[in-house]
Amino acid sequence: MSTHERVTGPMRSGPINALSRSTQDSPDALIGMARVRLAQRRNEEASELALNGLGLQHFNALGHHVLGRALVRVGHWNRAVLALRTALSMAPAMSQARRLWGAVYARNAKATA
């Protein structure tokens, strides 16, 4: 057991296990780290970090947008549509989310037609 674990208890598993306890409890920090993982093309980690951030603060349009982008990249199209639609319901003017939602929605429409 590490010194950190003796002091703070066991860390969570997954990509957030290397983050400090204060970072793990901050939705903005988790969503920020998810954005970094997206830039690094570490999409599974990005989606997990975004989900953890949204678990702490559901009403976060940027978090839903980041989650939607990560889900698109790993091929979870239906879940991506839901995440992006949630982001847009919270922030209708979020143009990046609107463009991505439109592209994913159109792709799903072609796939089901």
Mapping DSSP onto H, E and C, the string for 50-92 reads HHHHHHHCCCCHHHHHHHHHHHHHCCCHHHHHHHHHHHHHHCC
Query: Would you say 96 and 86 are in contact if contact means Cβ atoms under 8 Å apart?
Result: no
pLDDT value of position 12: 45
Which residues have CB under 8 Å from 41's CB, separation 6+? 73
Contact between 64 and 37 (Cβ < 8 Å): no
pLDDT (0 to 100) of residue 109:
78
pTM of the predicted model, to two decimals? 0.78
Per-residue pLDDT tens over the stretch 4-36 = 333 333 444 555 555 666 667 899 999 999 999
DSSP H or E stretch at residue 21: helix 21-24
Instruction: Quickly state the pLDDT bin for 57 (edges 50, 70, 90).
Output: very high
Residue 110 has pLDDT above 80, yes or no: no
pLDDT digits (tens, 9 = 90+) for 81-98: 999 999 999 999 999 999
Structural domains of the chain, ranges and CATH numbers in brackets: 3-112 (1.25.40.10)
pLDDT the model gives residue 107: 86
Q: What is the mean pLDDT of residues 73-78?
A: 94
Token pair of 87 as six digits: 């982001």
Number of separate helices (H) and strands (E) present in the chain: 7, 0
